[in-house]
Amino acid sequence: MQDTTLIHHGITMPRFMYGTAWKEQQTEELTYKALKAGFRSIDTANQRKHYYEAGVGHALNTALQQGWLTRSELFLQTKFTFASSQDHRLPYDVTADYATQVQQSFESSLQHLQTDYIDSYVLHGPYSRVGLSTIDWQVWRAMEALWREQRVKLLGVSNISIEQLQLLLERAEVKPAFVQNRCYARRQWDADIRAICAEHQIMYQGFSLLTANSIEMQQPAIVAIAKRLGCHLTQLIFKFALDVNMMPLTGTSNEQHMLADLACFELQLTEDDIQTIEKIALL
């Protein structure tokens, strides 16, 4: 079985992440169940439109208070989100400068998550659709300041294009340790960006691995591999992601599926299996 943890930029962290988007009032219950199932890496965002960050914090606090979990065992990831992707429940003063918005959002996240540091702080998508604007750089510099203050262990960016990632790597003083993107089989699972990540010691986090690839998952070649291994298709996709050095996210709301997802570490894929899945959209 593959090791369920890795060391990334000197930080020991789990290889499989539980995502908390779109769970609303079930967030606390489902985060708690994910922790009970064995997840130790939790992804959220200070974006009330799609996340209930405080619900995550309530679940974490319950587990910590019950004594079967410690903060050092957890890897917490949250995000700064621009106002254009928020609703009216903003975690900062939208009239403030962007560095202040980052600071206010971060302080709010600490309160929500009931912690005094964040393991991974992520820019939840650049402000600009093309390139990186002055605003993007103001935000990134503010995030770098949090890293220098040792209030954040690692920085990351999500929903980013290859061009934007290259620009960030050229000018960032603190390089991103993570890229989190929606991952499509028809793009060979974001192969171009994953290649840049591998070159620069960036961990690629893939989300929507299942929902973005429902058609490809029904391809006979993939179904045949799952049948041979006696596993569910979801387990196969998650194990493939792990085998190509990706950190997969699952957002399942089913407790049994949480356990099944984590059990994917027990699968043994051949190199042919990996190549078939990687190129499934080309078959």
pLDDT tens string 132-172 = 999 999 999 999 999 999 999 999 999 999 999 999 999 99
Place of tokens 């010691």: 201
Mean pLDDT of the chain: 97
Q: Which residue stretches of the chain have pLDDT < 70?
A: 1, 283
- Helix boundaries (H) for the chain: 27-37, 53-66, 98-113, 134-148, 162-171, 191-199, 220-229, 233-243, 255-262, 271-278
Residue 279's pLDDT is 92
User: Could you tell me the pTM of the whole model?
Assistant: 0.97
Residue 225's pLDDT is 98
Question: What's the distance, CA 11 to chain centroid?
Answer: 16
Q: Is 202 helix (H, G, I), strand (E, B) or coil?
A: coil
Residue 129's pLDDT is 87
Residue 49 and residue 152: Cα distance in Å, rounded? 24
Residue 212's pLDDT is 95
Residue 189's pLDDT is 97
Cβ 74 vs Cβ 63: under 8 Å: no
Kindly list the distances between the CA atom of residue 148 and the CA atoms of 20, 94, 151, 161, 239, in Å, as whole numbers in the listed order: 28, 25, 8, 26, 35
Residue 282's pLDDT is 78
Residue 45's pLDDT is 98
Residue 283's pLDDT is 67
Task: Determine which helix (DSSP H) or strand (DSSP E) holds 272, and give its type and residue range.
Answer: helix 271-278
Residue 155's pLDDT is 98
Q: What are the structural domains, with CATH classification, of the chain? A: 5-210 (3.20.20.100)
